[in-house]
Structures are given as structure tokens and as C-alpha cells.
Chain A
Amino acid sequence: MQKRVFQLNPLSCPTCAKKIETVLLKVDGVESAEVSFTSSKVNVAFEDTVDVTVLIDRIHRLGYRVLESKKA
């Protein structure tokens, strides 16, 4: 089990946060995904089998940029 925090560009609507959560949760092995609208951070917990770049790529494809990825 791993945990990561992604810092995004400032989110401008709470619905964006919801979208990102939904997309990440659809990945196999992702245990939890919480997007903080106010701090524009994503907290995600996932099995070791999951490739972090896949998660980042999904966020990118939704149209949001990951500025920083930190282990938590």
C-alpha cells in the first residue's frame, strides 16, 4: 500500500475535484482518492501494483496538470 499527494494547478470548481476522484477510483488497485478543492491537492492511496505514472496520466487526460508528486 502506498500513499501519494499530487499538487495540482489551483482548481476553480468543486465539480473538478469530484471528476478527478471518480477517474482515479476507477483504476484497479486504487483504494481511496480524495481531492481537496481548497488546497488543490489529491490524496491517493493504492496497491503497490499500481503505476503512479498511470494515475498522473489520467489526471492529465482530464485536462488538469500535476505540478508535484510527493510520497505521503
Chain B
Amino acid sequence: MKKQDLPMIVSGLLLGSAWLLDAMGMPSLSDGSLASAALIALLPIGRKALGALQFRMASIELLVTIAVVGALFLGEYSEAAIVSFLFLFGAFLESRTIRKTRSAMESLIKLAPSSAVVLRDGRRETVDILDLLEGDIVEVRTGQRIPVDGVIVHGSATIDQSQITGESMPSEKIIGENVFASTILQNGYVEIATKKVGESTVFGNILKRLEEAQDKKAQTQRVIEKFANWYTPSVVVLSIVTFLISKDIRLALTLLVIACPGAMVISIPVAIVAGIGTMAKHGILVKGGESIEKLAKINAIAFDKTGTLTIGKPKVSMIHPVDGDESSILDYASIAEHGSSHALAKAILAKAEELGIKPSYIASNLDVLAGYGVVASGEFGKVTVGNLRLAKQTETEFPIDQLESYSALTQTYPTCVFVLLNGTMLGYLILSDTLRDDAREALVSLRKLGVKEIHVITGDSAASATQTLGPLGIDTIHADILPQEKAEIIQRLKKEKKVAMVGDGINDTLALNESDAGIAMSSDASEVAMKTADIVILGERVESVATAMRIARFTSSVLKQNIVISIGTVFFLIFGVLVGKVHMDTGMLVHEASVLAVILNALRILRKK
């Protein structure tokens, strides 16, 4: 219990004892108890009313104060006590439940440690994060959260980076590698040279964005706020007019009590906060209420193929032997590619490792021809690994006209790597981008959510894109598209549908901007992606697109329900008061109940998965 809740509690106790006294047949004592209940509850209400009045502002508290004081003068002690107590009790319940709608967000903020163990002059010191300087060495042990963005200078560790990258698999980090604030050191010991602290860390940026998001008003919210601004003064005018006509001061005071637009102004922000927080829990950062509303309306989605539906890194998908077998092809290919960090080389080496093939020789001479491939020589002879252009240049026993027929092949499979040993074609490898594991399910979920059209926009050839995306059942594949044409396609789609664009956030800026809702999938929470997209998905799960949409849909429907509840209540109350069915105390009760109803309704969003 807090000191500020004291008037509410005392007033409640007095109210209860008044009923007891009344039941025991002591009406005058009961009235005294009621009047003191009202006066005590009025203390904090009146203080706020006067506070605002100093600056010539009429607040809700002022209306309640007038109504309660008026009721006391009229000798309506019971109504005065009930109204003032309910007003405080309602505010108390509201602040407690609103805190819950913020809880998803607050649990995120707590992830960042507030202190760090720093090594200075050979001694360990625990200091506040904000007192750390760039270059300070901090130590982190098993189970602790990393307090800063920095680089490991000593030790190694397994680190769970899901908070930043969305990647659920922990990664091994060694000296020289970057680590990020808020990630968890699962096992190991590291000393980190501090680069960034607090708000300038990647995690700090995420938090800042979330905080800003909460205050970006949704379209509906602006409409409702305008309505509320207009509503309160008009009910006050209505109550004055009612008094002038009917000379019934009780009726006029009752109208003042129900003039509070509480449920209306709170109905949308609570839903939005809950929605943003719930998405954040799933690694989805949303720009604000407006973005949620836009996402909820989407009925067509365009994916930029590479890096969203596909992994974005090539893999060996087929091995075609010509004059050799699979293992000899991979053997010679890995002799030539050994140690290379080129994406294609990595893919070939990974495939060899997967099949348990280790290079049987070490090349004594390597000649890397950028854009073509690599030629390696050694005691085994000469190995050429490269694309069609390189294969054509190489003196080969392989008939050149047959080689020509591979041109057709490379139309379908743009990445074809030929492996030749001393001019003999051993065979070729086909590398292609592979689908993400969850791509298929994600598209099924999206269709279930009411997405009518799924498009893919890609720079690859139609044949190649169809080959990769075949199993997904895409409605339209836009192939051979130049980056600058992506936005034009979105523009065309927008004429008939509400279109979301899913891209990696770096090459797709224009298209993301053009779309009704831009979604960036990014594993590094880069600022670029955060600025251009309405929604940023941390990590590499396509399913998150569906999750984002599901939460947005739900948030948007809760929002609509809340508007109906709050505005419905208001009209019901005004009507009830004017026909004499609703009195001051029941009016306050119904009003407070409607405020709680919209908050509780918003809390349902937190449970959405």
C-alpha cells in the first residue's frame, strides 16, 4: 500500500461503516460518516482540480469536485460519498491494470544491465553503466548479461544473442569478435573492450525505437481524441442547459459526473501499447500504432526473394558427374577452394564436409581469377574450378560445342561451377539459394490470415526463381527485376490491394517505402532497416511475418471493440441520465467499469502468440 492510496482506503472504510450504522438504525451517524467519506476522497481530487485551475484549465477532477460538493449541499451524502470514492478507486484500478499492459515492454527494458564489472589498474570494480568510458575493459562471467557493445579482448564464450539478432541458436565468440549489450553469456568468460554504452548500443537503439513507437498515434486515435476534446465541453454545456430548462440541479450534476471521457481516451493507447509490447516479445519491432493498423489491413504480400523466403546464401543443390563421380568432383573442387572465403567456395567446402570428403592433396600453387574461378596445381596435376567462361578458356578435351549447350543450363541454374582435372571435365556443381525451413508454413499461415495474393520480386531469371520457389505455391513471380523497378511493381499492386513488402531493408528501401506496410527482415537490427520499414523483424524466421500480422489483426480488432465499448457507454449514460434512470452513483460506477473493461480487453493482446 502506498501513501497516495490512503484517502481512497479511509474513504472506503467510512463508506462501509456508514452502511453498517444505517443498518443499525443510526441515520444521522451514518450521514456523518458518508459526508466525511466524501470529503476525504475529495482531498486528492480537489488538489488536482485546483492544480489545473491555477493554469486556467478545467479538468475532469474539477467536474467531479463540483458534482460532489453540489451533492453534499443538496444533502445527497450517499451519492457524494459513492461518486468520490468510485472516482479514486477507479483511478487506482486503472493505474494497476495499465501497468500490466506496459509489462511486456518493461520486461524488455530490464534486459539491459545497469552496472558492469570493470577492470581498472588491475582491480575489479563494479560501476554504473553510465560511468563507463570507451575502451574500459569489462568482465562478464557465465550466466551474466553483457553490459556494453564491444569487442572481446580476452577469453571466449557461448553467447545467446537472440535479443539482438533473433537467432535462437547461441553462437561461439572468440577474441576480436563483437558482442552486444543485453545478450546473455551462457558459458565461458570474456573481457570486453567497451565501444558503446547505454542508449547508443544496438539494444539501446531498439529500446528507443520501441519507446517512440508507443507514442506514434494511430489514425483512429487522433479521431477519438478529437471526439473526446469536443465531448467533455459539450456535456458540460448540456448540463448547464439542462439545469436552465428543468431547474433540476441533481440532473445537471449527474451529467457533469459522466462527462469524463476516461474510457474513450484510454481505449486506443492501451491496446497499442499491449500490441507493440507483445510484438517486441516475439522479436518484432513496430514503428507505432499507425503501422499496426496498416499491417492489419494487408491482403497482399510481396517478398523480395533473396534473404526473406530464401536463406540468401548459395548451397550446393546438385552434383552432375560427367567424367568422374560425386566424391572425386568434390574432392578436387575442395582442393582448389580450400581456405577461400568466397561465398561459392564456402558452399562447396560445406558440401564436401557434409559428405565427409577431405581434400586428398594440398595445392602448391593457387591462381584466383576474380569473376571466373580458381586454377590450382600440385602433384595431382592441374584443377580448374569455375564458371562457364573459365571452362571455355581452359584447354579442354571436352567438346566445345557441348560446352555451348551448357549456356542453356545456366539460364535455369545461374550458378553452375565446372570442375576440370587436367582438361578433363569431371562434372559440374549446381549451386542455388535454398528456401528457409519455415517458408512454406509461413505462407500457409499468411493465407489463413486472409492474404489473397503472394508475390515474389526477384532479380533472378524466371526459370531460376521458379526452380527455387516451386514448392511454395507463389501466385506471381516477378523475375528479372532491376532494383529500381521493385517500387514500380508495388505501386501497380497497390491499385487493387493493400500491399506489404517484405525485404531485407537495405536494398529495398524504395519498395518498402512505397508499400502500405514495409517489413524488413534483418538479423542485425541495422538503423537503416529501422528507419525505412514500418516493421522490423529481428532474426531469420519468415513465420514472424505471419506472427506480426496475427498480432496486428488482433490488436486492431481489440481497438475497434474498445471504441464501441467506450462510445457506447457514453451514449447509454447520457440517455439514461436524461430519462432519469441513471443517477450520479450508478453513472460513476458504469463509467469506471467501462474504463476497466477497455483496459482488460487490451490485456488479452499480451497473451497472443
B55–A38 contact, CB under 8 A?
Answer: no
Specify which chain B residues have a CB less than 8 angstroms from the CB of A41 in the assembled complex.
211
Specify which chain B residues have a CB less than 8 angstroms from the CB of A37 in the assembled complex.
215, 269
Specify which chain B residues have a CB less than 8 angstroms from the CB of A36 in the assembled complex.
211, 214-215
A12–B215 contact, CB under 8 A?
Answer: no
Question: With the chains together, A22 CA to B58 CA distance in Å?
Answer: 12
CB < 8 Å neighbour of A63 from B48, B60, B215 = B48
Q: Chain A residue with minimal CB distance to B4? A: A9
Question: With the chains together, A65 CA to B150 CA distance in Å?
Answer: 37
Q: Chain A residue with minimal CB distance to B52? A: A19
A61 proximal to B (CB < 8 A): yes
CB < 8 Å neighbour of B269 from A23, A34, A38, A58 = A38
Specify which chain B residues have a CB less than 8 angstroms from the CB of A14 in the assembled complex.
225, 265-266, 269
Q: Chain B residue with minimal CB distance to A37? A: B269
B201 proximal to A (CB < 8 A): no
A15 proximal to B (CB < 8 A): yes
A13–B265 contact, CB under 8 A?
Answer: yes
CB < 8 Å neighbour of A10 from B52, B95, B105, B225 = B95
CB < 8 Å neighbour of A22 from B57, B91, B95, B225 = B57
B95–A62 contact, CB under 8 A?
Answer: no
Q: Give the residues from 233 to 268 in chain B that come closer than 8 angstroms, CB to CB, to chain A.
A: 261-262, 265-266
B38 to nearest A CB, angstroms?
Answer: 20
Q: Chain B residue with minimal CB distance to A22? A: B57
B402 proximal to A (CB < 8 A): no
Specify which chain B residues have a CB less than 8 angstroms from the CB of A23 in the assembled complex.
55, 57
Q: Chain B residue with minimal CB distance to A64? A: B51
Query: Could you list some 17 contacts between A and B, CB below 8 A?
Result: A10-B102, A12-B94, A13-B60, A13-B94, A14-B269, A15-B59, A15-B60, A15-B261, A19-B57, A23-B55, A23-B57, A38-B269, A38-B272, A39-B215, A62-B52, A63-B47, A63-B51
Residues on A facing B (Cβ under 8 Å):
10, 12-15, 19, 22-23, 26, 34, 36-39, 41, 58, 61-63
Residues on B facing A (Cβ under 8 Å):
47-48, 51-52, 54-55, 57, 59-60, 91, 94-95, 98-99, 102, 105, 211, 214-215, 225, 261-262, 265-266, 269, 272-273
